[in-house]
Amino acid sequence: MIKIEKLYKRYKKISALQGLDLHIHRGSFFGLLGPNGAGKTTTVKILTTLVRPDAGRAVINGFDVVKEPASAKMEIGVVQQSINLDMELTAKENLFIHGLLYRMPYKAIKKAGEEMLSFVDLENSADMPVKTFSGGMKRKLMIARALMHKPEVVFLDEPTAGLDAKTRRKLWIILKKINQNGATILLTTHYIEEAESLCSEVGIVDFGKLIALDSPKNLIQSAGHIVVDEMTEKEIKSHFFLSRREASLFVERLKGSALVREANLEDVFLKLTGRRVSP
């Protein structure tokens, strides 16, 4: 369980978080959605004890991340946004070092290493240097590493960034399995379809504040199920409707061309903030 209360963080003149409140239930697959600079990564960095908040409180499974960082760290596994593997070491060596960092007994490290490499389908690359891996293999290894010490909470900070659509979908299967095995997941992503496909609950952040919180389905319904993208000379203007019939009536009255489609989380964000999530 993750509990965030009135979290503030400022970097010089930029307010990254402005009183963020969030409650993530045990076992849920939670998506934190927002554009660049919304405060997603800062939230993850605070929860993973890498950054200290200026004010507020963050608790993971009962452990305050500022007051009890060592206990909080034992509860979590982290897949950072950037690939932070030891490129000169093999996959197996990377996992071994991680096991030692998390105070695992030697036998347990060996066993968990083999299990995790098999889980992410990298058992045949165990003794290869990571520098020879593809982007997808590196991401898989980062996931395996984060799961080595069997954390109850897993933070995935844009884990599929920079991957092609096919590799991304393969990783989704792994991420779903992690959640099905009982771990609570907090995922930050730019990819709307990723959040829609994976998350049971989504929080939308903008300018360091939570502006919406619900299941993807409910958020989309609240925005309007059907979207009409009106193409004008200067811009594409989106209009939201509760039914396809209402949308059709609107389109009939339009002079220019328009596209009628089902709404997604991107539209929810657009309606709430007037901006798009995707870069």
Pairing label, strands 2-11, 14-24: antiparallel
Among 24, 34, 42, 73, binds other proteins (CB under 8 A): 73
Give the shortest CB-205-to-other proteins separation in angstroms: 21
**Helices 265-273/216-223 angle, 10° precision:** 50
- Cα angle for residues 125, 128, 131 (degrees, 5° grid): 115
Taking the least distance from each CB to other proteins, the nearer of 33 and 146 is 146
Among 5, 8, 15, 74, binds other proteins (CB under 8 A): 74
Give the shortest CB-77-to-other proteins separation in angstroms: 9
Residue 85 engages other proteins in binding (rule: CB under 8 A): yes
Residue 49 engages other proteins in binding (rule: CB under 8 A): yes
Among 14, 55, 101, 249, binds other proteins (CB under 8 A): 101
Check: CB of residue 250 under 8 Å from CB of residue 262: no
Taking the least distance from each CB to other proteins, the nearer of 8 and 172 is 8
Among 8, 102, 207, 250, binds other proteins (CB under 8 A): 102
Give how far Cα 65 sits from Cα of 68, 70, 143, Å: 6, 8, 22
Among 82, 132, 215, 257, binds other proteins (CB under 8 A): 82
Part of the chain binding other proteins (CB under 8 A), chosen from 78-86, 113-121, 183-191, 246-254: 78-86
Part of the chain binding other proteins (CB under 8 A), chosen from 16-24, 83-91, 202-210, 263-271: 83-91
CA distance 20 to 6: 5
Single out the residue of 182, 84, 74, 102 nearest to residue 141, CA to CA. 84
Taking the least distance from each CB to other proteins, the nearer of 122 and 204 is 122
Burial label, 266 (beta-carbon count in 10 A; 0-12, 13-18, 19+): buried
Give the shortest CB-98-to-other proteins separation in angstroms: 7
Taking the least distance from each CB to other proteins, the nearer of 9 and 168 is 9
Taking the least distance from each CB to other proteins, the nearer of 14 and 231 is 14
Part of the chain binding other proteins (CB under 8 A), chosen from 34-42, 44-52, 120-128, 158-166: 44-52
Find tokens 């982290």 and name the residue.
Answer: 78
Using CB under 8 A as the criterion, which residues of the chain lie in contact with other proteins when the complex forms?
Answer: 48-52, 69-71, 73-74, 76, 78, 80, 82-89, 93, 96-98, 100-104
